[in-house]
Structure 1
Amino acid sequence: MKKWLKVLLAADFFLLLSMGMIIPIYAIFVEKIGGDVLAASGAWAVFTFTSGILIWLFGLWGDKVKHLEKMIFFGYLIRSFAFLGYFFVSNQYHLFFVQTVLGVGVAASLPAYDGLYSRMLSKGKFASEWGTWEGMNLIVAAIAAIIGGTIAKYLGFKTLFIIMFVSGLIGALISLFLMSKKAQKEIKSK
C-alpha cells in the first residue's frame, strides 16, 4: 500500500470516528432537544437528501478539478464544523440546519475521496486496498458506537460533540499532508 493512501486512510479514520459516535444514538439526542421520531427521521432525510443531490454535483465537478485533496480537506473541515454545530442545537430547526451543513461537507469530500483513493491504488491490489477501507469503515463504526454511547451517557452530548469536532479537525489536518509538494509529485506520477 502506498504511503499517501495510508495518509488518506488515516485522515478518513478520524472522520469515520466522529460520524460513528453519533449515528447509533442520534435519535436519543433528537429526543433530548424536544424532537420525536418524525423530527429524527426528517432531520436525517434532510442530511441524506442534501448529500445525495450534492454528491452527484460535486462528483461532476470533481472530474474537472485538478486537486481532489483540496475538496477532501474543505469537505472534512465543513463536516467538523457541522459536528461542532450539534453543540449549539436546541430545537429541531437548528438540527435541520446542521444536518444540511453536514450534508454539504459529506458531498464535498466523498466523490473527491473516492476519486483520489482510486487513483492511488496499487496495480493488482484493487480489491484488497478497497477491502482495507471497507474493513476500517466498519471496525471504526463499531468502536465509535461504543465510545459515543459511553461519552454521551457519562459526560453528556455536549462533550461528545466537542470530541467529534476535535476528531474531525484532526482528520482534516491530516488530509493537508496530501497537499504537500512531495505528495503531489508522487500522486500525480501514478
Structure 2
Amino acid sequence: MFLTSIVPLGYIFATLPWHLYLLEALHALGMAMVIPPWGGIFIRHAEKGKEAFCWSLESSGIGISAGVAGITGGLIAKAFGFLPLFLGVSILTMTATFLLFLIRKELLTKGKVILIPKQY
C-alpha cells in the first residue's frame, strides 16, 4: 500500500507522458499486492452465513466512496490546484498504511506473526 501512496507525489514531478505510464505501472503493482489480501482479510472477519450481504455492502461502499472521492478531488483541484490535492491524497494514503501496523495482529491469521526472511 505504501507503493500506491507515493504515486500521487510522482504526479507532481511528471513532465513527460512516460512518467505517467511508469507511475501507473507502480500503482498497478501496488494495488496487485493490496487487493488479494484484502479479500482474505475481509471474508475472514465477515459474519458467518452473511458473507454475500457483507460483500454487497463492501462493493457498494467502494463504489459510493469512489464517486464521492472523485467529486471532492475535482472540487479541491478547482479551488486550490493539483499540488495540494496530490499531497493530500499521498498523506492520507500513507496514514492509512501506517494505521494498518497498529492492527496487524488482528489482521494476521490466528494472531500469529509471520516472519519473512530477509533477502540480501
Question: Structure 1 length normalisation: TM-score?
Answer: 0.54
Distance 1:82 1:179 in 2: 24
Q: Given that residues 5 and 90 in structure 2 are in contact (C-alpha distance below 8 angstroms), is that contact kept between their aligned partners in structure 1?
A: yes
Deviation at 1:163, TM superposition (A): 0.9
State the shift of 1:184 in Å: 5.4
* Post-superposition CA distance 1:22-58 (Å, at most 9, x none): xxxxxxxxxxxxxxxxxxxxxxxxxxxxxxxxxxxxx
Residue 132 (structure 1) shift: 2.1
**Equivalent of 1:167 in 77, 82, 92:** 92
- 4+ residue segments displaced more than 6 Å: none
Question: Are residue 133 (structure 1) and residue 58 (structure 2) matched?
Answer: yes
- Indicate whether 1:117 and 2:42 are aligned: yes
- Report deviation, 1:84: 1.7
Identity across the alignment (%): 28
The one-letter code sitting in structure 2 at the alignment partner of 1:146 is I
Structure 1 spans left out of the alignment, 5+ residues: 1-75
Whether 2:5 is the aligned partner of 1:83: answer no
Alignment correspondent of 1:151? 76
- Mapped to 2, the partners of 1:135 and 1:174 lie a distance apart of 24
Compared with structure 1, are the counterparts of its residues 164 and 184 closer, same or farther at alpha carbon in structure 2 (3 Å cutoff)?
closer
Q: Name the Cα RMSD after superposition.
A: 1.7
Unaligned 5+ segments in structure 2 are 112-120
**AA aligned opposite 2:110:** K
- Which structure dedicates a bigger proportion of its chain to helix? 1
Q: Is 1:188 matched up with 2:110? A: yes
